[in-house]
């Protein structure tokens, strides 16, 4: 890890263990990108700036053709209106209505450590290694505007963390119309762009396409990161696989509207940029005020997708997730939602707890329907008071009864929502997001609370806090079941209404921070109609996020592969579903459902009081395997062995402990093919010279053999067969 500025050559150098990032001054004034890639020892890269400025003729030619020069420069961070006709990361408007902004180099600072971002989730140093930060100041002298580009690196990671601070040092307001967190200009190398797309119940499908001229945009305008798109993109070179090829990746540490854009221009340069979506966004920057953007995590790999994945996993485990549960085995829970929906009472929940304890389940989570007059999804959101027609013994007594059965107790909330049919809405109709005079559109027959307003946050959080203080509640599932629309707030005037979306996210972060400060031992799981808000911003507050409402193991293969491309397995909420599955109608063996759910937090969502004795015995066996293998899954290095989206009939992934002493491979044969041979699978991440024993057969293989020649897997006849293979170093 090294950050250095060469005063003579005017080159900024950022070094991680395996990568180098270089910037320099072009035409003596503009910060330009020179290189990002495999580690370099020789950093004399001024020629890569393509900005000769040494002779009088070169200076004359620059002034004569400045517009063309600005449009072809590989900017590190540019603003609009002065010749860069690509989508620039910064667009402003002055009080006079002008948009031109010219950012020139001003100064720099190299500091030990990494400052936090006020009000925003951000990566942090830890016991795993020191950090260094480079802050470069650019300025527009006419506007009295300064832009601080921040780059942070950690001793134990190849990631580079970027964010931006914009400061108005003038006497007039400046309106920020677009302020992204990062920009990366590079020569095109016949790149392919990969992003994550989907919808409810089929989130984060890995999608690739060639980068062609023009703009390729992935974005959300739903007020959340969304099921449909994800704040992640990567460029790959031809032939990139798990182990080969160059990868440039970006992931946004934010939980609201975002944009991720790749643009190929006339000169063959590619611009990657990422940040808050500028559509519907405008921030009023008063004199003396500052605006700070969320972070972007950049990762480069010259050894394929696998190294990129493991870099993200380790970074988020070591430098983003703060929860005390991060390195702990999560309790095996059972959630009553698909078991009972709204039709339950206290006795039914205790019956579930009693049966669950018999097979080794450790927590009962009471889902939607326990509050207000909630007997369906059309009322009572916001009325966070116990429905004593259902919980007749009272919440405190119910929790005591569940605890007496040997289980911990968790509870579901949807704190950001309000039902039109609720006491809270009848008392405070202005608390809902709305445009005055217009009836807001409903989704799931509910509105969204305007948590940009402090009084609304205080009201709803106070009710949630009172419930959590009333009983021994050890887990909260925080849900959010609809997007935002009809944007309007009684707390913002006309000039500041463009700040709404970002202020909403800041309000969400504030509420969750209060929750964790008031209840430091709470296990928090975020959720948004399944996986609609699975992003690094949420991981700062909760060590796990509900991955998808679809628990069918076949669908989960793709959902969890796309999620695990960036996020550790320990962050993925995953349960064993009832069969037939309530989303797909598919029937799968309980062992298969368990094996896929173990690649996550592991739990159940079914009515255990109606499960057969045979399946109860299988559940008990699966729970024992979870305890046996969880540390490998939770802390180990993840390797993608085969992908169902590529093979069309089988899937395999493995986790290897950091010391390489254990490997657990999970295999699933989705569709049986007649008249075929056994499947050869090559493992990864093992010690080549070590010997590994396959527990099931006691057969011993060398690590080198397992990785180069592989093992043979012979699935039995039939669909949806899954098996785990545990290798232990001799």
Segments of 103-173 assigned E as strands: 104-112, 131-140, 145-154, 160-168
665 conformational bin, left if phi > 0, alpha if psi -120 to 50, beta if neither: beta
Catalytic residue among 549, 550, 607, 637: 549
Burial 510-543, CB ≥16 within 10 A → b, else e? ebbeebbeebeebbbbbbbbbbbbbbbbbbbbbb
Q: Does 129 share its domain with 74?
A: yes
**Residue 434 maps to a domain:** no
> Which residue blocks in 178-293 are alpha helix, DSSP H?
none
Q: What is the pLDDT of residue 129?
A: 76
In this structure, the answer to whether residues 227 and 374 fall within a common structural domain is no
Q: Does residue 269 register a pLDDT over 90?
A: yes
Long-range contacts of 516-520 (CB under 8 A, 24+ apart): 516/322, 516/541, 518/465, 518/468, 519/468, 520/324
**pLDDT computed for residue 304 by the predictor:** 98
CA 221: distance to chain centroid? 17
Q: How far is CA 273 from the centre of its chain?
A: 17
What pLDDT score was predicted for residue 54?
83
What are φ and ψ of residue 386, in 5° steps?
A: -65, 130
pLDDT digits (tens, 9 = 90+) for 382-441: 999 999 999 999 999 999 999 999 999 999 999 999 999 999 999 999 999 999 999 999
Confidence of residue 640 (pLDDT cuts 50, 70, 90): very high
Q: State pLDDT tens for residues 191-201.
A: 999 999 999 99
At 208 the pLDDT is 97
- As a whole number of angstroms, the distance between CA 176 and CA 79 comes to 11
Tokens of 345: 């009472």
Q: What CATH code is carried by the domain that includes residue 649? A: 2.60.40.1180
Average per-residue pLDDT in the chain? 97
**pLDDT per position as a tens digit, 78-117:** 999 999 999 999 999 999 999 999 999 999 999 999 999 9
Sheet holding 700-702, edge to edge: 637-642, 650-656, 662-669, 721-729, 691-694, 700-702
485 domain-assigned: no
Task: Please name the helix (run of DSSP H) or strand (run of DSSP E) that holds residue 309, with its range, or none.
Answer: helix 304-319
Mean of the pLDDT values across residues 523-545? 98
Any domain includes 440: no
Q: Tell me: the pLDDT tens digits for 713-728?
A: 999 999 999 999 999 9
Residue percentage of the chain with pLDDT more than 90: 97
Give me the CATH number covering residue 459: 3.20.20.70
Tokens of 413: 């909330």
Task: Give the pLDDT score at 677.
Answer: 82
- What integer pLDDT is reported at residue 90 of this predicted model? 98
3-state SS track over 505-563: HHHHHHHHHHHHHHCCCCEEEECECCECCCCHHHHCCCCEEECCCCCCHHHHHHHHHHH
- Cα(666)–Cα(660) distance, integer angstroms: 17
Indicate the residue among 629, 649, 678 that finishes a domain. 629
Q: How far apart are CA 428 and CA 426, in angstroms?
A: 6
Q: How confident is the model at residue 675 (pLDDT cuts 50, 70, 90)?
A: confident
Residues 162 and 72 in one domain: yes
Contact 526, 637 (CB under 8 A): no
Say what the pLDDT of residue 109 is: 98
Span 178-193, pLDDT tens digits: 999 999 999 999 999 9
The CATH number given to whatever domain includes residue 121 is 2.70.98.60
- Domain identity same for 605 and 569: yes
User: For residue 324, is it within any domain?
Assistant: no
274: burial class by Cβ within 10 Å (0-12, 13-18, 19+)?
A: buried
Q: How far apart are alpha carbons 492 and 24 in whole angstroms?
A: 42
347 and 464 inside one domain = yes
Cβ-count burial 320-335 (b if 16+ within 10 Å, e if not): bbebebbeeebbbbbb
Number of domain units in the chain: 3
pLDDT for res 52: 86
Contact 23, 5 (CB under 8 A): no
Assess if residue 384 is contained within a domain: yes
CB-based contact 711:725 (threshold 8 Å): yes
The H or E element spanning position 647 is helix 644-647
Q: Is residue 515 part of a domain?
A: no
| 113-128 confidence digits (pLDDT tens) | 999 999 999 999 998 7
CA-based nearest residue to 206, from 713, 561, 481: 561
Is residue 285 located within the same domain as residue 408? no
Q: Are residues 315 and 378 in the same domain?
A: no
Cα(512)–Cα(272) distance, integer angstroms: 31
Three-class secondary structure of residue 635 per DSSP: helix
Determine, yes or no, domain membership for 156: yes
Q: How confident is the model at residue 676 (pLDDT cuts 50, 70, 90)?
A: confident
Q: What is the mean pLDDT of residues 435-452?
A: 97
Same domain for 32 and 126, yes or no, is yes
Taking 3-state DSSP, the helix, strand and coil percentages for the chain, each rounded to the nearest 5, stand at: 25, 30, 45
Q: Per-residue pLDDT tens for 15-72?
A: 999 999 999 999 999 999 999 999 999 999 999 999 988 888 988 999 999 999 999 9
Instruction: Answer yes or no: is pLDDT of 691 > 90.
Output: yes
Q: Are residues 118 and 234 in the same domain?
A: yes
> pLDDT at position 689, please?
98
At 33 the pLDDT is 98
Report the pLDDT value the prediction gives residue 128, as an integer from 0 to 100: 76
Considering 479, 550, 552, 651, which one is annotated as catalytic?
A: 479
Using one digit for the tens of pLDDT, what is the confidence trace for 345-394?
999 999 999 999 999 999 999 999 999 999 999 999 999 999 999 999 99
Decide the pairing of beta strands 447-448 and 417-418. antiparallel
Last residue of a domain, one of 629, 659, 687: 629
Residues 485-498, mean pLDDT to the nearest whole number: 97
Q: Is 112 a catalytic residue?
A: no
Q: What is the pLDDT of residue 388?
A: 94
* pLDDT per position as a tens digit, 133-163: 999 999 999 999 999 999 999 999 999 999 9
Whether 551 and 668 share a structural domain: no
> What confidence tens digit (pLDDT) does each residue in 586-634 have?
999 999 999 999 999 999 999 999 999 999 999 999 999 999 999 999 9
Q: Are 312 and 345 in the same domain?
A: no
Q: Is residue 281 part of a domain?
A: yes
Q: Catalytic annotation on 479?
A: yes
Are 20 and 14 a contacting pair, CB within 8 Å? yes
Q: Which domain holds residue 262?
A: 2-319
Same domain assignment for residues 342 and 305:
no
pLDDT number for residue 127: 83
Among residues 629, 657, 692, which one ends one of the domains?
A: 629
- Among 291, 318, 321, 312, smallest CA distance to 506 is for 291
């Amino acid at each position: 890890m090294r950050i250095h500025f060469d005063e003579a050559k005017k080159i900024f150098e950022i070094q991680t263990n395996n990568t180098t990032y270089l910037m320099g001054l072009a035409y003596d004034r503009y910060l330009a990108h020179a290189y990002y890639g495999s580690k370099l020892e020789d950093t004399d890269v001024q020629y890569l700036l393509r900005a000769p400025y040494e002779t009088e003729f070169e200076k004359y030619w620059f002034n004569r053709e400045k517009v063309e020069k600005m449009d072809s420069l590989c900017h590190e961070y540019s603003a609009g209106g002065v010749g860069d006709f690509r989508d620039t990361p910064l667009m402003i408007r002055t009080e006079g209505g002008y948009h031109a902004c010219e950012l020139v180099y001003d100064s720099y600072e190299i500091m030990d450590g990494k400052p936090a971002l006020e009000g925003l989730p951000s990566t942090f140093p830890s016991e795993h290694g020191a950090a260094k930060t480079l802050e470069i100041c650019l300025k527009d002298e006419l506007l009295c505007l300064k832009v601080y580009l921040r780059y942070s690196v950690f001793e134990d990671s190849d990631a580079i963390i970027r964010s931006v601070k914009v400061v108005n040092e003038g006497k007039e307001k400046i309106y920020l119309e677009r302020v992204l967190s990062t920009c990366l200009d590079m020569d095109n190398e016949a790149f392919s762009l990969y992003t994550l797309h989907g919808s409810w119940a089929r989130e984060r499908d890995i999608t690739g396409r060639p980068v062609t001229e023009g703009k390729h945009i992935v974005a959300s305008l739903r007020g959340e990161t969304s099921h449909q798109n994800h704040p992640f993109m990567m460029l790959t070179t031809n032939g990139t696989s798990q182990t080969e090829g160059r990868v440039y990746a970006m992931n946004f540490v934010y939980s609201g509207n975002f944009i991720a854009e790749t643009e190929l221009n006339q000169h063959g340069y590619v611009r990657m940029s990422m940040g808050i979506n500028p559509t519907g966004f405008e921030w009023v920057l008063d004199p003396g005020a500052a605006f700070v953007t969320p972070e972007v995590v950049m990762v480069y790999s010259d050894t394929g997708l696998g190294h990129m994945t493991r870099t993200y996993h380790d970074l988020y485990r070591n430098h983003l997730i703060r929860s005390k549960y991060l390195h702990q085995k999560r309790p095996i829970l059972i959630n009553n939602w698909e078991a009972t929906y709204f039709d339950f009472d206290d006795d039914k929940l205790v019956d579930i707890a009693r049966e669950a304890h018999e097979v080794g389940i450790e927590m009962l989570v009471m889902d939607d329907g326990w509050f207000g007059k909630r007997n369906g999804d059309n009322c009572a959101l916001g009325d966070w008071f116990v429905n004593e027609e259902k919980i007749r013994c009272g919440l405190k007594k119910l929790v005591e009864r569940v605890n007496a059965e040997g289980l911990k107790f968790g509870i579901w909330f949807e704190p950001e929502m309000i039902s039109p049919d609720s006491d809270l809405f009848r008392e405070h109709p202005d608390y809902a997001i709305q445009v005055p005079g217009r009836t807001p559109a409903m989704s799931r027959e509910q509105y969204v609370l305007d948590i940009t307003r402090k009084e609304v946050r205080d009201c709803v959080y106070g009710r949630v806090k009172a419930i959590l203080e009333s009983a021994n509640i050890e887990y909260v599932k925080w849900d959010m079941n609809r997007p935002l629309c009809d944007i309007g707030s009684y707390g913002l005037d006309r000039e500041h209404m463009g700040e709404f979306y970002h202020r909403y996210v800041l309000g969400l972060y504030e509420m969750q921070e209060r929750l964790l400060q008031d209840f430091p031992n709470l296990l928090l799981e975020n959720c948004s109609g399944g996986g609609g808000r699975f992003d690094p911003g949420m991981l700062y507050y909760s060590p796990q996020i509900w991955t998808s409402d679809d628990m069918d193991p076949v669908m989960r293969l793709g959902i969890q592969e796309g999620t695990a491309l960036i996020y550790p397995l320990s962050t993925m909420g995953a349960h064993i579903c009832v069969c037939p599955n309530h989303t797909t109608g598919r029937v799968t063996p309980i062992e298969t459902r368990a094996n896929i759910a173990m690649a996550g937090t592991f739990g159940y969502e079914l009515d255990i009081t109606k499960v057969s004795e045979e399946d109860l015995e299988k559940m008990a066996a699966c729970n024992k395997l979870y305890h046996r293998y969880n540390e490998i899954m939770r802390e180990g290095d993840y390797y993608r062995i085969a992908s169902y989206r590529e093979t069309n009939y089988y899937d395999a992934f493995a986790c290897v402990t950091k010391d390489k002493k254990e490997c657990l491979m999970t295999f699933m044969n989705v569709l049986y093919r007649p008249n075929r041979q056994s499947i050869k699978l090559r493992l990864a991440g093992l010690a080549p010279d070590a010997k590994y024993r396959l527990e099931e057969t006691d057969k011993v293989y060398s690590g080198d053999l397992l990785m180069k020649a592989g093992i043979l897997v012979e699935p039995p006849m039939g669909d949806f067969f899954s098996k785990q293979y545990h290798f232990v170093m001799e």
